[in-house]
Amino acid sequence: MMPATALRLGNLVATADQPEHPDFVLMLEPCLVHLLQETLFREEHDIIGVPIDAATLHRYGIPHREWFPVGKRRVYLSVIHPRGLTQLHIGPQLHRVRWMHEIQNLIFDVTGEHLITHPHIHQPFQKTGDAGTQRAD
C-alpha cells in the first residue's frame, strides 16, 4: 500500500494488479490516486512503488552511474544490487532509496526541478484565443 500523501503529481507508480505497467500520477484525492492511463481513481492501497533499476532509468532518459545536471545541482544515481537500493547523490548529499517516486520527490525537493516530465501533467493548461494560443489564468 502506498499512502497518497507520499505521492506528487507526475510520480511514476504502478498498480498492484499490473506492477509491470508503470503509470504517472495525474491527480490525487484523499486516499485516492488517478493515474494517467486509467479512467477511474484507484484507492491508495492499490498503488505500489516502481522499483529502480537501470532499465527503468534508461526508459525515462535518466542517466545511470554518471553525474548529470538537474537545475543548478549535479545528480548521480547508482543502483545497488541485490539489496534493491539506489544511491542518490544530489551534490554532497547521499540518500538511499528504493522506489522511482522517492527519487522524483527528493530531486524536486532539493532542486525544484522535475526528473521526469509529462506534457499532460507538467505543462500549464492552454486555451486557444483569437490571438493564438495563450495561457489560461
pLDDT tens track for 5-20: 899 999 999 999 999 9
Residue 34 corresponds to which amino acid?
H
pTM of the complete model beyond 0.85: no
Cα(3)–Cα(92) distance, integer angstroms = 29
Assign residue 65 a region (left: φ > 0; alpha: ψ between -120 and 50; beta: otherwise): left
| For residues 85-98, average pLDDT | 91
Rg, Å, the chain Cα set: 16
The percentage of the chain sitting over the pLDDT mark of 90, rounded to a whole number, equals: 66
